Amino acid sequence: MNLLHLEVDGRPSYRRLLISEVSRILAGFEPKPFSSSIRVQTLFNEIESQLHLNWTVAYIAERCFLSQEQLNRVCKSLYGVSPRKRLIELRMEKAVDLLKYEDWSVGLIAQRLGYHDPYNFTHRFSKHFGCSPREYRKRSRE
């Protein structure tokens, strides 16, 4: 205990932290784990900043400590769509920004959004917006 006292002595923040932890343990208080909704929202925020990675529904479910069925229910309650569709929405929203504000090629934009094949990206974009990425860029700059 003297060693602990020497380590903590002179460091008020450590002392407060130690007292807080001891009090929590003695009171039998256990913090609630993050709800599944918070875990899913947090991960989708991370996904939004890392769209170039190969995100799959199975991997997202694993990262959220949920089954794919549970993830599907949580996503539908939060976003109104399945996790796969939410991922596509995020990629398409980012695609629009990149087409409007960057002069990158469609191939580079596809790569930055996690599409290994620019034709797959173009097909997905056309299905989502009703026009090709090139047409969208042209219209947005008129």
- Mean pLDDT value across residues 117-127: 96
What CATH number is given for 36-140 in this structure?
Answer: 1.10.10.60
Q: What is the pLDDT of residues 63-112, one digit of tens each?
A: 999 999 999 999 999 999 999 999 999 999 999 999 999 999 999 999 99
pLDDT on residue 22: 74
Confidence of residue 11 (pLDDT cuts 50, 70, 90): low
- Mean pLDDT value across residues 19-40: 73
The pTM of the full predicted model, rounded to 2 decimals, is 0.73
Structure tokens at 42: 């947090």
pLDDT on residue 28: 66
Cα distances from 136 to residues 11, 81, 141, in angstroms, run 59, 24, 9
- Mean pLDDT value across residues 27-54: 84
Confidence of residue 20 (pLDDT cuts 50, 70, 90): confident
**Per-residue 3-state assignment (H helix, E strand, C coil) for the chain:** CHHHHHHHCCCHHHHHHHHHHHHHHHHCCCCCCCCHHHHHHHHHHHHHHCCCCCCCHHHHHHHCCCCHHHHHHHHHHHHCCCHHHHHHHHHHHHHHHHHHHCCCCHHHHHHHCCCCCHHHHHHHHHHHHCCCHHHHHHHHCC
Sequence ranges of the domains in the chain: 1-31, 36-140
